[in-house]
Amino acid sequence: MQVSCLQQNLSRALAIVGRAVATRSNLPVLQNVKIATEDGMLVLTATNLDIAITTRVGAQVEKEGEITIPARLLSDFVSSLPDDRIEMESVAEPLSVSLNCQRFSANINGTDPDEFPPIPTVDEGATIKVDPQLLRDTVAHVAFAAATEDSRPVLTGIKVEVNQSDFTFAAADGFRLAVYEGKLLEPISEPMEFIIPARALQEVGRLIGTDDTAVEFTVTSAGTHALFNIGNVEIVSQLMPGSFPNFRSLIPGEYKNRVILENSDFTRAVKTSSIFARDGSGILRIQIVNDENGGKLSISSRAEEVGDNQGEIDGAVEGEVDEDSRIAFNNKYLAEVLDVLGDGEVAFEMTSASSPGVVRATGKEGYTHVVMPMFVQW
């Protein structure tokens, strides 16, 4: 293999595929990036066996070939080079690749590309088209609620349901549930549903740029893999077996009290109380108040050995307020959902101290976030 390409382009491509490089693995080749030539382009691929990322770089190809080399070493070296053309040439004995850029050069030992795992092909199946900014928004509002521990593997994934022109993404970890509903760019003929690892969708979200090119993803008819096309980047992900909980049954159908308030105020109050909640089992106490001075939300926390605090924020209160209009949450779960909602008004809904609370963004009708309460002594 003998090629040349711009340092900036190669560095960007290595950063993209580097997201799929295995950090720990019994297969050393999974810590490598595969570099090959195809149709006058340089093709870079990395995989950790759960997801695979492939991207292409414009290059001047003098001689075809392929090789796999340590991804982190190559990325660190290329990113340190000046912004100029890089000459790359592979050598068969010993298997290695040489890089030259201006007055800098390196030789990096490689591995036989035949040892690199084959990337699953997704040629046939149902293809879904989604507005890129809507998909990025959906992933940002849902993926963080997925479980990070493997005690229930299915909860580390995101349930995707598609029916005609509508889609639903849902994630839950046993303590909270995030659901986002939206519209496809084009309707599909047959409804479908599957579970995809949250990490795979997070990578998709990171790679979506600011252009309006539709994101296409294809799901194999066997329901084993999904392929995402984002510009010149392809992401192939395994789909997850198992049965996802009936998340719709977890969303309260009604509420006793509802408060509309500015998210910036809500976020500040939660962050302030979280300082004390850190030493108090992460408990935030929320009480709805509606008196002659208007409606408000009281947020407090306390730690026996440290102290306590209380904050109040104004809001428009709906429903009859009494001494049962109070509830407690884990501060982390409440802070994380408020963080992704951004600026604007949010609606906080509750029924009782033992029922789930609901947070919605008034500007995002398709988004619902459910948080399970904590049982505390008032």
- The verdict on 238 and 271 lying in the same domain is no
In the chain, the number of structural domains is: 3
Q: How many CB atoms lie within 10 A of CB 236?
A: 22
CA separation for the pair 100, 108 (Å, rounded): 12
- The verdict on 178 and 263 lying in the same domain is no
CA separation for the pair 316, 258 (Å, rounded): 8
On whether residue 155 sits in a domain, the answer given is yes
Q: How many CB atoms lie within 10 A of CB 143?
A: 23
On whether residue 378 sits in a domain, the answer given is no
Instruction: Find the domain containing 15 and state its range.
Output: 2-115
On whether residue 34 sits in a domain, the answer given is yes
One pLDDT digit (tens) per residue for the chain, 378 residues: 999 999 999 999 999 999 999 988 788 999 999 999 999 999 999 999 999 999 999 999 999 999 999 999 999 999 999 999 999 999 988 899 999 999 999 999 999 999 999 998 887 888 999 999 999 999 999 999 999 988 899 999 999 999 989 999 999 999 999 999 999 999 998 899 999 999 999 999 999 877 788 999 999 988 899 999 998 999 999 999 999 999 999 999 999 999 999 999 999 999 999 988 887 688 999 999 987 777 999 999 988 778 888 999 999 999 999 888 999 999 999 999 999 998 899 999 999 999 999 999 988 889 999 999 998 876
Q: What is the distance, to the nearest Å, from the Cα of residue 225 to the centroid of all Cα atoms in its chain?
A: 18
Can you give the pTM of this predicted structure? Answer: 0.90
Indicate the residue type of 116. Answer: F
Reported in sequence order, the residue ranges of 79-154 that DSSP labels E, i.e. its strands, are 85-91, 96-101, 104-109, 125-130
- The verdict on 180 and 262 lying in the same domain is no
Q: How far is CA 23 from CA 32, 71, 143, 265, in A?
A: 10, 10, 21, 40
